[in-house]
Structure 1
Amino acid sequence: MESFPPQICEGMQHISESVFVVLCEIVGTSQDVALRRETEDIRDVVVRGRLPINDGFMSTLSGSKREGFRLEGSDVDWMFWLNDHQVIMDVSQSEYYNTANTALILSDSSESPPGFSLLQLLSPFVNREVYSACVRTNDRLYISSSIWRQLTCSALIPNSTIHGPCGSSDEAGVQYATAFCFVCDFWPPSASSWTDRCHTWPDPEVVDNIVRNGCHFVAIGHPLGPHENEEWRISFSLAENKLVSSMNHCQFLTYGLLKIFLKEVIDQQSEETNKLLCSYHMKTTVFWTIQQNTLPHWCPQNILAGFWICFKLLLKWVFKGVCPNFFIPQNNLFLTKVHGSAQNRLFLQLHELYKEGLACLLQSSSIRSYIIDVLYNPRLSICTDESIMRSEVDYDLKVVILSEGMIHIFRSGDIIIDTTKTIHIIEQFVESPMTHHQVVVIQRLTTNLLQRTSFLLQNMHNDTGFNKQTYIADKMSCHMLKLAAKFGCVSDMLYIAIYYYKTLRYREALSVIEMTKVKLAQPYLMYNRHVDRERYTEAVGGQSWSTKIRQAVAEEIDLDNRICYISELIPEQQSGLKNRTTSLFIPLFVMLHFLEFLCYRHIDTTLSLAALDELQFLVHHDQGLYIRDIYRYISWEILGICQQITGDLQGALYSYQQSLIPHHPWNEIPTATQKRIQEIVQSAPH
């Protein structure tokens, strides 16, 4: 670090602490990152617990988002593999599988460069697409990576383009990359030397876990190999995720700083070189740096020292034109891109940055102002205590947001089978140690399960008339809904009101609505990603999560499209199912006024119209406080339904048209809206 500018050298520790703080803001604190990772871990357990054998593809989020990053512009990477197709490294390994229901594929790397292999099909029966991708060579069937890419590129998202081994697409401004690959339970022999290198990092249990979980094969061959169109690359994506998870937070933030530096500094040097390096090279640099133990202590005070060591290693690799794969060093990641004149230009650019020393970080738009602040205010007090950086309310808000997105992944196919498997998954979690976040997800899942089951039970007995069975079913449904409300959040009370409306108990429903209104009027309510931090902390700070969620947390109303909750919404739910969505999310306050309107129609017309006025004011004037943009379409739809019921056909037509306008990209009910518009047009006098 001899080339650091004097002014930076003098305040190195102070500047490092400042960079640590800003990286915690950009990348996340260790708590933030842990929450993101746990969310994906839970999802994996759920999906695998829900899928039976021979039920198609398994999936997992991979790449930077799985590692815990949420940097702007990052791709969303997914890996998919057939759960009844297994790659083996040696024919003798076939004894571990039941070949009656598992197709075996042999990895043959005898003629391939390091890190690549041919995949020979051994089983007579396979998935139809797999067979379609096969080519015959010397009386053997090999799965062609190039044909497989063509077949699977647009399997999930139409009009995807091939990018490396993936199908790449842009959906609503987000880049998705989907790789359909093959799984192998065995560690590849070509990576055996990696386990011998792991003396200081990672820990032996991490190494053991990585080796036991094997690898994947992704559909891309070595461009300089003899079988480019047939070859597959060995992917250590899941192993890399475990390595990143085993980093301490300063190491992880250093990785994040390198990603930011690549995007904001290196890639801005020239158009000629801005595609030569990628995030994977940055990750590889960090892996080697940590394992070589060049920096004994990774802490906030020397995060810049860690960055500089990584940068010098990267510079050395570019100079030599060799970036060794972390697991198979013989596989040079620079081989096809960083060579010749391009390599020379890139080295000269990086060397110019190197000559600047750590001052080169001043070229990063994200980091620059924080370094300057410290340079001009050397006595500036910097707090690196993460518990102070992220308040209790911030943590609670993140937990709520992350747990919200988990419920819908429990839904697919037959609702009874779904329910049974969900119970089994809850059982699995409850019987093992759980983190706080896992407890929250299981609590929300159990609440949702009770609500769903209660309406399912009521629907099953809806047409049987009033008899003893119907009476018992009704008692059970009511009991489940009240139990769900006891350990659920404030908005879960509204499901009781929905049930009472469905079973024609309008006054009871209105009584529950009034109680819910009182709770929702509290100034410390956490809803729709909004919360008054000071009042929330005063009201429930330091209390148990059960207390917080019952008293201070509310969420959107989530209706399973396979269950009838409110007959007036059946067309919308059916339209959602046609668009392959099993959930209909409705803003809480929209549902509150909607229910109030429906109930008062049978009791007091004046109060019914008053509820409609409140709903109309909310939908017309809300600025995102109660209605998120992604749910504006359903809010206009519900307003239109109420207006149509009262005979205000002109108002209803306007509301339905608002529901369909293009800036509602998440609209999943257009078929229902168009039918309702058609009804109004046809009923209008000619």
Structure 2
Amino acid sequence: MSESVFVGLCEIVGTSQQVALRRETQDIREMVDRRATSNDETSEMLSGSEREGFRLKGSDVDIMFWQNNHRVIMDMSQSEYYNTANTTLILSDSSESPPGFTLLQLLTPTTTEEVHSACVRMNARVYISSSIYRRLTCSAVFPNSTVHGPCGSGNIAGRLEYDTAFCFVCDFWPSSASSWIDRCHSWPDPEVVHDIVRNGCHFVAMGHPLGPNENVAWRISFSLAEYKLVYSMNHSQFLTYGLLKLFLKEVINHQLEETNKLLCSYHMKTTVFWAIQQNTLPHWRHQNLLAGFWVCFKLLLKWVSEGVCPNFFIPQNNMFLTKVYGPAQNRLFLQLHELYKKGLACLLQSSSIRSYIINVLYNPRLFICTDERLMRSEVDLDRELVNETSYIGAIRTNSHNKYIHIIEQLVESTLTHYQAVMLQRITAFIFQSISFILHNEYIHTGVNKQMYIADKLSCHMLKLAAKFGCISDMLYIAMYYYKTLRYREALSVIEMTKVKLAQPYLMYRHVDRERYTEAVGGQPCFTKMRQAVARNITLENRICYISELIPEQQSALQIREPTLFIPVFVMLHFLEFLCHRHIDMTLSQAAVDELQVLVHHDQGMYIYDLSRDISWEILGICQQITGNLQAALYSYQQSLTQHPMNRIQTATQRRIHDMVQSTPHQ
């Protein structure tokens, strides 16, 4: 039966190859961003299940943010490692806090408004209040977020839930977690332990409900250590962790309403950590996957019975203390004990796993292929790789040379296949951004020689980006030609792009699996990307690409949205319309007509529903330019009814207002 569950979990959680793909692409993305981040900027880190390599339906995205120029130290002697002229020092004072929690004392002045506003005075010292800081930063990334634990929480379009936590970073391992280092005999390996300890910890804005200073205290976060521990699991251990997450969501939390909030995914993770480290199961492999699950389930049952869930790094921190106690604890124990009495048959209550178990129960001689290489087709892996490498984010301000230097360093380093693909994608995006930045900088100098050199360099970088990018990257060349008034050259690039996008094996939103395999199957990833893959067009809002979209970019920037995401076919018709306006009005109108058909009638084939706001907006811009004001007004109104993914509503409302004001009244 374990083999069947192994196959099922590989289908749901991912094969080891898929999990490696997700982790490695995220790692290289974060590595580039971290190296490009200056001391006075904010760092960010994906954490939680997404970072660990899960892509489970309904999972939220957890992101941690911290200011690089604010550092927490554990004792005053560590202050010698920092230049206090450009670094704000904060002292962790855990003398009067419960295990796993601390007060943060501000030692040197801060120039950050949120930190300054969150300061409170206690016992003649200045401390940073976690509750005030949490409230001030709650909606810093996504407007209208609500406080949830130490995070700002919400959802995008009612589907993607997120948690953003603004925290403080510490380069040192907390002394309260020193016992963890001594426990690591069998797992994880010494080099993993060293790496974890060397990278320190974070402090998130959450005090202990039973502590003396709940509103001021902070919780020590081991998120960085945790994902490194999950990385160090073998795939069977990782699948066991995934099975526990599914069991919690689909079985435990479906029993009684009064107990379905007592346990969380973090408890499941802690259970797996302890079970692996205590060597409860000598060999973790897919043949005894269910044995691993049962070991963890029994440990969880024991903890609920005792009302003690020891934090993996600081065991004195009982994570059940404020939730799993009293009558609720008794009800939860009885509930889990009923499941325990059913044995492994309790997994039949899991909607995800049930079918895989039933197949074996009713057909014990059923042959089950457990070769991971045969579980996922080439097309499936390519689609996942395209998805994982699609999002880059905005590049750091004024860091062109730094990015190029980082890329040079990484290209010469040892990279995995997936890291190399991600680095190619990042490099293409950086070259595209720098090309437009260079043009925007030198166009205003009026110095012909400088403008000529900048133009040659921009064109060269855009062509390079298209060479190791994908089909849609050619449109950045067309955008640049349009911006520099080379309309015929732009249209030539657009025509070439059209031909490539019309190929029956194109991978964009959807893919014809047979034709794709026939056309590019077995080819290097580099070749597949260039010949068969298209992505949405990403525009950084700090950079002017097309003057007609400046209002939309400014609108998004007002609420800290760094990028616009535009469907590739929408951008294709938009550019075609803009260029033909200067050459052939008939063809210009034909481009608008094609765009109108696409926006009005597409059923998700070419326009993702979260990008319909910008799609309607661009159609409205084209219609307004042609003088079809009634159609433009309708398109702008439609844009306002879509999910505000691109944060362009202010621009849309301004366009409607200006158009109504300029229309002669009858």
Q: TM-score, normalised by structure 1?
A: 0.90
Closer, same or farther: CA 224–461 of 1 in aligned 2, 3 Å:
closer
- Counterpart for residue 624 of structure 2: 644
> Does the CA-based 8 Å contact 1:43-1:409 persist in structure 2?
no
2:573 counterpart of 1:593: yes
Distance in 1 (alpha carbons) for counterparts of 2:139 and 2:540:
28
SS in 2 for 1:479: helix
Deviates more, 1:622-631 or 1:578-587: 578-587
SS in 2 for 1:69: coil
Q: Deviations over 1:196-234 (max 9, x none)?
A: 211111001011111112222333333334444443332
1:293-372 aligned at under 5 Å gives the runs 293-372=279-358
Distance in 1 (alpha carbons) for counterparts of 2:593 and 2:209:
66
1:211-226 aligned at under 5 Å gives the runs 211-226=197-212
Distance in 1 (alpha carbons) for counterparts of 2:597 and 2:149:
51
1:566-645 aligned at under 5 Å gives the runs 566-645=546-625
2:85 counterpart of 1:100: yes
- Counterpart for residue 544 of structure 1: 524
2:389 counterpart of 1:403: yes
> Does the CA-based 8 Å contact 1:62-1:77 persist in structure 2?
yes
Distance in 1 (alpha carbons) for counterparts of 2:659 and 2:117:
50
Closer, same or farther: CA 568–192 of 1 in aligned 2, 3 Å:
closer
1:187-586 aligned at under 5 Å gives the runs 187-406=173-392, 408-411=393-396, 414=397, 417-460=398-441, 462=443, 467=448, 469-527=450-508, 529-586=509-566
> Does the CA-based 8 Å contact 1:16-1:304 persist in structure 2?
yes
Return the offset for 1:467.
4.9
> Does the CA-based 8 Å contact 1:47-1:409 persist in structure 2?
no
Return the offset for 1:513.
2.4
Q: 1:344 is matched by which residue type in structure 2? A: N
> Does the CA-based 8 Å contact 1:457-1:477 persist in structure 2?
yes
Distance in 1 (alpha carbons) for counterparts of 2:112 and 2:657:
44
SS in 2 for 1:327: coil
Q: 1:256 is matched by which residue type in structure 2? A: G
Closer, same or farther: CA 522–335 of 1 in aligned 2, 3 Å:
same
SS in 2 for 1:404: coil
Match of 1:671 among 633, 638, 650: 650
- Counterpart for residue 151 of structure 2: 166
> Does the CA-based 8 Å contact 2:395-2:430 persist in structure 1?
no
> Does the CA-based 8 Å contact 1:590-1:615 persist in structure 2?
yes
1:8-157 aligned at under 5 Å gives the runs 15-55=1-41, 57-123=42-108, 127-157=112-142
Deviates more, 1:208-217 or 1:347-356: 208-217
Return the offset for 1:511.
2.6
Structure 2: gaps (5+ residues): none
Q: 2:71 is matched by which residue type in structure 1? A: Q
Distance in 2 (alpha carbons) for counterparts of 1:163 and 1:675:
34
Distance in 2 (alpha carbons) for counterparts of 1:286 and 1:53:
37
Return the offset for 1:32.
2.3
Closer, same or farther: CA 523–317 of 1 in aligned 2, 3 Å:
same
Distance in 2 (alpha carbons) for counterparts of 1:501 and 1:462:
14
Distance in 1 (alpha carbons) for counterparts of 2:579 and 2:117:
58
Q: 1:64 is matched by which residue type in structure 2? A: S
Return the offset for 1:466.
9.9
Distance in 2 (alpha carbons) for counterparts of 1:161 and 1:571:
29
1:646-665 aligned at under 5 Å gives the runs 646-661=626-641, 663-665=642-644
Q: 1:664 is matched by which residue type in structure 2? A: H
> Does the CA-based 8 Å contact 1:221-1:227 persist in structure 2?
yes
CA RMSD of aligned residues (A): 2.6
SS in 2 for 1:409: coil
Return the offset for 1:157.
4.3
Distance in 2 (alpha carbons) for counterparts of 1:184 and 1:319:
36
> Does the CA-based 8 Å contact 2:70-2:90 persist in structure 1?
yes
Return the offset for 1:159.
4.9
Distance in 2 (alpha carbons) for counterparts of 1:124 and 1:573:
35
> Does the CA-based 8 Å contact 1:660-1:667 persist in structure 2?
no
Closer, same or farther: CA 552–140 of 1 in aligned 2, 3 Å:
same
SS in 2 for 1:38: helix
Q: 1:103 is matched by which residue type in structure 2? A: T
Return the offset for 1:195.
1.5
Closer, same or farther: CA 143–21 of 1 in aligned 2, 3 Å:
same
Closer, same or farther: CA 78–648 of 1 in aligned 2, 3 Å:
closer
SS in 2 for 1:85: strand
> Does the CA-based 8 Å contact 2:565-2:646 persist in structure 1?
no
> Does the CA-based 8 Å contact 2:3-2:287 persist in structure 1?
yes
Deviates more, 1:255-264 or 1:186-195: 186-195
Distance in 1 (alpha carbons) for counterparts of 2:141 and 2:553:
23
Return the offset for 1:359.
0.6
> Does the CA-based 8 Å contact 1:87-1:105 persist in structure 2?
yes
- Rg larger for: 1
> Does the CA-based 8 Å contact 2:143-2:559 persist in structure 1?
no
Distance in 2 (alpha carbons) for counterparts of 1:666 and 1:470:
36
Distance in 1 (alpha carbons) for counterparts of 2:612 and 2:144:
28
Closer, same or farther: CA 573–359 of 1 in aligned 2, 3 Å:
same
SS in 2 for 1:410: coil
Q: Deviations over 1:306-337 (max 9, x none)?
A: 00111111111112222222122222222222
Q: Deviations over 1:624-651 (max 9, x none)?
A: 1112112222222232333333333332
Distance in 1 (alpha carbons) for counterparts of 2:448 and 2:98:
74
SS in 2 for 1:446: helix
Return the offset for 1:358.
0.5
Closer, same or farther: CA 467–18 of 1 in aligned 2, 3 Å:
same
Closer, same or farther: CA 579–343 of 1 in aligned 2, 3 Å:
closer
Q: Deviations over 1:261-305 (max 9, x none)?
A: 111111222122222211111111111111111212222221111
The count of residues paired between Structure 1 and Structure 2 equals 664
Q: 2:291 is matched by which residue type in structure 1? A: A
Q: 2:102 is matched by which residue type in structure 1? A: S
Deviates more, 1:39-48 or 1:299-308: 39-48
Identity of aligned residues (%): 75
Return the offset for 1:512.
2.5
> Does the CA-based 8 Å contact 1:19-1:367 persist in structure 2?
yes
Q: Deviations over 1:470-497 (max 9, x none)?
A: 4444444333333332222222223333
Return the offset for 1:684.
4.2
> Does the CA-based 8 Å contact 1:144-1:230 persist in structure 2?
yes
> Does the CA-based 8 Å contact 1:215-1:236 persist in structure 2?
yes
Closer, same or farther: CA 632–229 of 1 in aligned 2, 3 Å:
closer
Distance in 2 (alpha carbons) for counterparts of 1:126 and 1:475:
41
Q: Deviations over 1:156-179 (max 9, x none)?
A: 445544433333334433433333
- Counterpart for residue 4 of structure 1: none
Return the offset for 1:65.
2.0
Q: Deviations over 1:130-175 (max 9, x none)?
A: 4544444444444444444444444444554443333333443343
Closer, same or farther: CA 538–100 of 1 in aligned 2, 3 Å:
same
